[in-house]
Amino acid sequence: MSIMQVDASASHTIGNVTYDIFEYAKSFFDKDFFKTEYISTKLAHKQLNVYMAKKDFWKNKKPMIIMRPRIDIDDNDNDLYGSMMTRVTNNRSQMVFECLAPLLENREFGTMIRFMWNKLKVTYDIAIVLETYNQQIDKSLQLKNNIGPEIPYEFNTALESYIPNSLIYSLADHLGCKRTDTRTILYYLNTYAGTPITYKLKNGSGNDEFFMLYDTNMEITPSQITTDDGESSGMITDTYTISFSITASFRCVGLWYLFLKNKNPEFIVSSIGTNLTENDRIVPICAIPLRYDLKLDPGWEIYSAPCFHVSDLDNDVTDLTSQIPESVANLMIMTLDSGMHLSDSFVRFECFKDTLRLTHGVDYHLDINKTTDSDYGITVKVVVHKGSPKVTYRLFVLINNYAVNSICASVTTFNKEK
């Protein structure tokens, strides 16, 4: 048996939490209340000192909401501090595996994936910038009445944990499939894993990224709300600030372990498996939206939900072909051959921009064609009109589950351990 230990990357999960907290803070105000929204990683360390920022920044339209995350690495007041739940071993030996949570265990193919939990605490400093003193009074009291300062409570959400490529590649090698065959890898993971596995298409970083999706309860605690005396520009005072913080405590993956039943007795310690640059920062990523109400008719289910980012503002094209499972591709080919529209039969798609449902033919369109130039037999591309590079897009692949079970069964063969 060979064992691989891989460091986890918490930045994506923190990006999920950042998005949730940002939307939570905005939820206490009317929709489209804020004219400027900004997440900063470079403001004051202890609190948001908005007056130390460049004056040009305040030329943006008000009202503004500004948020900055502060990560507490050594949170010694959490309930798992110092326990085996947050560390594998306290000595030089790396062969201790108590309290590892299972993700996948498949004896038929000799594979097992486990992970170690961490508990993190991130404090988000938030500033609401308004134009008038009356607005400042009204909105600060509104926040105080609704947000419950210094009262912790549970916040249910869905988070994603990045599964390092080095672990995925070793698993693919063991199964006997190509490292680039994301369709087969996703099919295997979602067949045997105990929780959904999602996938983010290649973006500007050029990385293929797999994620474990898990539903969790964060503990969030708002702070007391403070106000300032306003900032003057000449004889006019037009910058009034409301400041407060929200602390979020949540669980994320600390270490990944891959166990393979083979003739290799190695214990391999690997890095995260993704290259980070000096300019990388925490980017708020919308997690897979378990709270979406797609209003599906009986028999229709979400088969997969790959997310992607756009790079072009107009008519950005993202190739989703590798994300279409074989059974779904077969149904699509059969439907096209029969002359029916996809939405009328077995497969249809819904595209979201963060939590906003997009309109097909207006905000985006799908380019679906049969082909003989690839192993997939079909190409599926999504074209986004007037895209926003800083947000997350997600395409839901919806299937009629009754049709899939009765018409087309997907059969995939992996190399078994002899």
Q: Of the candidates 175, 171, 159, which has an alpha carbon nearest to the alpha carbon of residue 248?
A: 159
pLDDT tens readout for residues 297-347: 777 777 777 888 888 888 899 888 877 777 778 778 877 777 777 666 678
Evaluated on CA atoms 181, 270, 164, 272, the torsion sign reads negative
Q: Which helix (H) or strand (E) holds 358?
A: none
pLDDT tens readout for residues 258-298: 999 887 777 777 766 554 443 445 556 665 554 556 677 77
Judged by average pLDDT, the poorest of 224-228, 290-294, 374-378, 400-404 is: 290-294
Q: What is the pTM of this model?
A: 0.73
Q: What DSSP line would sit under 213-253, residue for residue?
A: EEEEEEEEEE---EE---EEETTEEEEEEEEEEEEEEEEEE
Rg of the chain (C-alpha set): 24
Q: List the domain boundaries for the chain.
A: 2-270, 300-407
Question: Distances in Å between the alpha carbon of 23 and those of 90, 149, 286, 385?
Answer: 39, 18, 10, 24
Q: Of the candidates 104, 267, 299, which has an alpha carbon nearest to the alpha carbon of residue 186?
A: 104
Distance between CA atoms of residues 40 and 47, nearest Å: 12
